[in-house]
Chain A
Amino acid sequence: MTELDQKSDGRDTARTRDFARTAPPLPPLQFARWFWRQLTSMRTALLLLLMLALAAIPGSFIPQTKVDPAAVVRFGRAHETLTPIFDRLGLFSVFSSAWFSAIYILLMLSLVGCIVPRTFVYLRALRARPPKAPSRFDRLPASASYETDENSDAVLQRAAAVLRQKRWRVDVDAVAGGSGVVRAEKGYLREAGNLTFHIAAVGVLVAVAIGSLWGYKGSVIVVEGEGFSNTLTQYDDFSAGGLFDASALTPFSLQLDRFDARFEIDGPQQGQPREFEARGSYVPEPGAESAPFDIQVNHPLDVGGSSVFLVGQGYAPVITIRDGEGELVFSGPVPFLPEDASYTSSGVIKVPQSVPEELGFEGFFLPTAVDVNGVPRSAHPAAANPALALFVYAGDLGLGDGLPQSVFALDKRGLTQVRGPDGNPVRLLLQPGDTAAIPGGLGTISFDGVRQFARFQIGHSPAKAIALGAAVLGIAGLMASLFIRPRRAWIRTRRRDGRTLVEVARLDRVSGADLGADVEALVRDLRASSATTEGSATSEGKADT
């Protein structure tokens, strides 16, 4: 960075040391000023960046509520002592925890505190003329000299022309008596790029914050032939930012007519999914015309600011249940959630109306059932040979106590497993069209057929376009900042023994350039048109100071 900042860094440390040694309590204003200078120093920015990286690490090893709530529950069961501690430390929601927020808010403050003064400095620098030449070129990182018979003015004029042609900003100070200096500078856009990048970084963060405060995200399972309307109660799970207003949900509804899934039938990738497609119609708002949709993975449906993404799919066996008195107590498709690549899917059916006892079923749906040593398994994700394997429970489903229950799990506390005459738990194995009697006169269950379901994720994150725009702007600024080099050059002429001594020096405000080569090139350009040359020298010291 600039020598200037280096100096101010040095000053800061001196101050810190002073402060620590004598430690008289600073008056508040002075303290505030001291604190602000510390916060906006380059070293603090660096440390905050490294701390941010460090602080993000636990978020990848410890399950996060926002990413995978089920994994958090599993973790809680496995680690009973750790979990409350982790919970208090916010380790299950690292990225919204107080300490993570503290780091990035400090970074933002530091960033703003950095950008504002630098912008003013830059605006002044834009109008400034190239700086004065240092008195001794040999102290500079790279310099060279040669002697020529040309007179000083000719050399200076040509130097100015050569540099101007290469779009340097050039000033010539010719002094009578055969000496003078050309001062030149270029690469002003670098700092502009750097500022753009840092401002864009603030922009991205603000946009992301807006998105998460006012946005929402939810998912819902929709079985073929059924529909969904965008209200809170219809979601299977739903999360929203702190400032989200539920009445602002886009009031659309949709009907899923058909879901197509294609899997690789054979070959080395047998069973890999190839194509998923959900088709149906939607009504953008009540009273509007309905329109067809065709949602695929990577091709969401956009409705009035919300987007409907296809994020999952599976099977929903259609089931009919009659109770012990022959009454129809259940009829319809039940989504079973896929658990592995062959779509072995698990699910439960709850039948609170049945008499004499409430019934619960728990088990697996197998799209391509095969028998592996007496255990039914699924061999392929396509529904080629569907089967349903269920255990039966009877008793009290626990739905009466008003506590919310997952539709994908049975609360077995009030239930007993139904056993056959041999005392073993009953396992019903059904294929489409089959009906089985539940032992003990509890009723019958029929497996009527299979439908597919789609899991849609519906969400809206405002300021998405702003975040993207800022990110793109940021990259443009970054590239300007990294690839444009702010450069300074001086060319000085002096009379020596009746000839003209030409000295050339370069100094960069940022490291990374091969200054020696630059100086050589410059000398070559200068001498290109003058044939009378003698004795030249190049030197480069530590270019990266």
Chain B
Amino acid sequence: MSTEQWATLSNNAVAAATVVFGLACIAHLIEWSITRQVSGADTSRAETVGAEIARPARQAVSAGQVGAFDGGQDAQSRRELAGEELGADEERVARFGRLGIALTVLAAACLLVGVVSRGFAAERAPWGNMYEFATLGLLVVVTIYLGLVRFMKAQWLGGIVTGFAVCMLGLAFLAYVPAGPLVPALDSYWLLLHVSAAATAGGAFTIGAGASIFYLLKAKAERETPEDQRTGYLWRLPSSTAIDRLAYRVHAFAFPVWTFAALIAGPIWAEHAWGRYWGWDPKEVWAFITWVVYAGYLHARATAGWRGKGAAIIALIGFATFLFDFIGVNLIASGQHTYSGL
């Protein structure tokens, strides 16, 4: 195939991915809205496995049973516990959940084709400008998400992840530039490492932020909702403790990767390209801010009075600074990084 054909394939694949993500998002939204009508029993209550000592207000969760939407046995015990006839609605909820995930897998496949063929079109690694960074980063987000679905039953993140994907691809189209070779300053192995690590960390930060939002919602609901009013979508999520654990794991993965991207690979490349490893260019300032805020998140989890809610809010601030670094800095500030494609 010629580079033009690759380029066309890439553009079509990314466009298709956008549409399919949109459909996946709609499927998850329908799933949510039906759930609101179904008086879904608290899964976390359903999962209490024959505890010896019944402690009040304990959120008992067992591994492997966290937030299963479609597990027959789970639904069974929920039905029994709630003592309600959920049958048909329950089925529909599960069907839309599965549909959402299937569509997400399809969209991810389209996106993968889009990113790879972009590489063939440009005859280089496909992460040299903002458009490419956005598509690659999103591919990482969705891959991590699907991994979590597979291994940690994290399908409850579906709506937020697919919604984010649609927004991100929309923004990426605004930053679209045709495939082509790189300006000399961007032609470096360290740049490849720098950008791929930043995209990986960014993808994980995104998932972490999604989980932190759910954590805050669920923790608030657990504090404020009386036992007998616990119906609706939130109560089909895992306990706030389990959500927090997932958020922490994702962040704990992302932080060292971001450290490598922003504080090692980036400076090495900057040194080669511009003759200084750190120059407080706006992009660098915000990468540093992001790093410091996430270090704050990890600290907050170990500081009395800041665990839980405080830490989750810091994680969300961290994600906001990451997004600003990635999008805002290119739009408003001027610096040496800005010629990288927008």
Contact = CB atoms under 8 A, between A and B. Distances in A.
14 contacts: A46-B300, A50-B292, A60-B282, A138-B53, A264-B180, A272-B180, A457-B274, A471-B259, A516-B60, A517-B62, A520-B63, A539-B53, A542-B59, A542-B241
A397 to B, nearest CB: 32
Contacts of B308: 544
Nearest to A50: B296
Interface string B38-61: 000000000001111101001111
B200 to A, nearest CB: 14
B292 A52 contact: yes
B245 interface: yes
A66 B303 contact: no
B44 to A, nearest CB: 11
Contacts of B252: 482-483, 512
A160 interface: no
A30 interface: no
Interface in A437-475: 457-459, 461, 464, 467-468, 471-472, 474-475
B62 A9 contact: no
**Which 9 pairs, one residue from A and one from B, show the smallest C-beta to C-beta distance?**
A517-B63, A1-B302, A309-B275, A268-B178, A269-B180, A457-B275, A297-B184, A60-B282, A60-B285
Contact of A208 (B188, B241, B268, B278): B278
Contacts of A457: 274-276
A275 B263 CA distance: 27
Interface stretch (B80-88, B155-163, B224-232, B329-337): B329-337
B288 A56 contact: yes
B326 interface: no
A95 to B, nearest CB: 5
Interface of B: 49-53, 55, 58-64, 177-178, 180-181, 183-185, 187-188, 241-242, 244-245, 248-249, 252, 255-256, 259-260, 263-264, 267-269, 271-282, 285-286, 288-289, 292-293, 295-296, 298-308, 314, 321, 329, 332-335
Contacts of A517: 62-64
Nearest to B332: A61
Interface in A351-387: none
A478 B263 CA distance: 13
Interface string A302-319: 000001010100000000
Given A50-B293, A67-B280, A43 B303 contact: yes
Contacts of A42: 299, 302-304
A278 to B, nearest CB: 12
B302 A5 contact: yes
B192 to A, nearest CB: 12
A275 to B, nearest CB: 6
A61 B333 contact: yes
A179 interface: no
Interface string A508-525: 001111101100100000
